[in-house]
Chain A
Amino acid sequence: SQQGEEDPQALSIQEGENATMNCSYKTSINNLQWYRQNSGRGLVHLILIRSNEREKHSGRLRVTLDTSKKSSSLLITASRAADTASYFCATAGFLGETSGSRLTFGEGTQLTVNP
């Protein structure tokens, strides 16, 4: 079963615009990670944010985490056509010290960036 939901399910924007995707989850977490997937291929890791962090940046990516609301958002600024992909959030919980490998994924947001 999925940990939570991602919103929106699909997003279509023009190149140069910003894209914001949201993720909600249900249980306490150790960390939350965002991944990108192009056309059913492997997942590319984008960023990891720990439960005690509120915001993190990496290049054009900005991730926020609100553990009180059990939600996270991914912002991609100045989007490019190459950003077209599915974006997934994944959480790692507190199931004991070996839990780090067990990621629970959201349903994903399909982002289309039009040139």
Chain B
Amino acid sequence: KAGVTQTPRYLIKTRGQQVTLSCSPISGHRSVSWYQQTPGQGLQFLFEYFSETQRNKGNFPGRFSGRQFSNSRSEMNVSTLELGDSALYLCASSQSGLAPETQYFGPGTRLLVL
């Protein structure tokens, strides 16, 4: 099976712009989660989608949003970008998102906000 894929791999944006990142889960996986990784805050959970519904949400402002499509692919959007949004954004997929279950991560999208 193909692994989790994320596009684009690299992005450069300027403050105030918005960005959309895409994640395709492993075939058959219905749960997709998003994480932000920064040197200062480490790896932090953003949100999780299952069957096109947001099921869990982390402590991020409303500028961070996401959605999931019927084929389980997911997108996350960040509006009004700030310098602090520069990070590696990782998505992970699993079959159902129910513990205990392994989360499989994609290669990430590295976002740089200037």
Spell out A's residues near B (CB within 8 Å). 2, 30-31, 33, 35, 40-45, 48, 50, 88, 90, 92-95, 97-108
Contact = CB atoms under 8 A, between A and B. Distances in A.
A94 B101 CA distance: 13
Interface stretch (B13-21, B65-73, B77-85, B91-99): B91-99
B43 A105 contact: yes
Interface centre among A42, A44, A48 (most CB of B within 10 A): A42
A100 B105 contact: no
Interface centre among B50, B103, B107 (most CB of A within 10 A): B103
Contacts of A101: 31, 33, 48, 50, 55-56, 92, 94, 97-98, 101, 103
Contacts, number: 87
A103 B110 contact: no
Contact of B105 (A45, A93, A102): A45
Question: Which applies to chain B's interface (DSSP): helix, strand, loop or mixed?
Answer: strand
17 contacts: A35-B105, A45-B104, A48-B102, A50-B100, A98-B48, A98-B56, A100-B31, A101-B33, A101-B48, A101-B92, A101-B97, A101-B98, A102-B45, A103-B35, A103-B45, A105-B35, A108-B42
B104 A100 contact: no
Contact of B106 (A30, A42, A100): A42
B99 A33 contact: no
A96 B93 CA distance: 19
A42 B43 contact: no
B4 to A, nearest CB: 8
Interface string B21-58: 00000000001010101000011110010100001101
Interface of B: 4, 31, 33, 35, 37, 42-45, 48, 50, 55-56, 58, 88, 90, 92, 94, 96-108, 110
A103 B44 CA distance: 8
Nearest to A100: B99
Contacts of B94: 100-101
A101 B47 CA distance: 9
